[in-house]
């Protein structure tokens, strides 16, 4: 199965890298931000400009991620966030690509901004701390921590 791994370049990337054994035997590629660390990734990757809170960069990211998803045609998107997961997940809904969002390991008692949005948009929503199950609701699942 072809799987897109969508994340930023910091701790979110670290969390996805901890999961790489789970993707063995699958065709994977990253969609992440251009950065010294991501430039050195030894996996297939597409690098885009960091979005942050800039609305124009978010719009640009929609087009770039659409082009990538159209070219690669993944069956699944797995993301640990942050904001880069929002356009990827919205596009996935329209393109009928399944999505898994994994809330950040550092979120123990509070929801992330991205999590608040993707709780409603992702097909599967995982938290890494059981305390967050009460905060999010019935759709959230705890299967253990990535790290």
| Residue 126 belongs to some domain of the structure | yes
Token pair belonging to 11? 């701790």
Q: How far apart are CA 57 and CA 35, in angstroms?
A: 16
Q: What is the pLDDT of residue 127?
A: 97
Instruction: Specify the number of domains making up the chain.
Output: 1
| Residue 94 belongs to some domain of the structure | yes
| Residue 124 belongs to some domain of the structure | yes
pTM: 0.95
pLDDT tens-place string over residues 51-74 = 999 999 999 999 999 999 999 999
pLDDT reading at 147 higher than 80: no
| Residue 84 belongs to some domain of the structure | yes
What are the strands of the beta sheet with 98-102, ordered from one edge?
Answer: 45-48, 27-33, 2-7, 76-81, 98-102, 124-127, 140-142
| Residue 32 belongs to some domain of the structure | yes
Whether the bond between 104 and the residue before it is cis, its omega within 30 degrees of 0, is: no
Domain that residue 69 falls in: 2-142
| Residue 80 belongs to some domain of the structure | yes
**Helix 55-72 vs helix 85-95: angle between axes, to the nearest 10 degrees?**
50
pLDDT tens-place string over residues 3-31 = 999 999 999 999 999 999 999 999 999 99
Beta bridge partners of 45: 30
Here the CATH number for the domain that contains residue 63 is 3.40.50.2000
| Residue 147 belongs to some domain of the structure | no
């Amino acid at each position: 199965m072809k799987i897109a791994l969508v994340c930023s370049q910091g701790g979110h990337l670290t969390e996805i890298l901890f999961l790489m054994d789970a993707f063995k035997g699958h065709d994977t590629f990253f969609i992440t931000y251009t950065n010294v660390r991501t430039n050195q990734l030894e996996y297939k990757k597409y690098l885009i400009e960091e979005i942050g809170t800039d609305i124009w960069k978010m719009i640009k990211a929609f087009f770039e991620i659409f082009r990538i998803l159209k070219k690669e045609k993944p069956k699944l998107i797995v993301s640990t966030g942050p904001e880069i997961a929002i356009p990827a997940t919205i596009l996935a809904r329209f393109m009928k690509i399944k999505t898994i969002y994994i809330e950040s390991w550092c979120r123990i008692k509070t929801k992330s901004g991205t999590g608040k949005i993707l709780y409603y948009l992702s097909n599967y929503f995982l938290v890494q701390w059981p305390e967050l199950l009460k905060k999010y609701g019935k759709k959230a699942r705890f299967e253990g921590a990535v790290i």
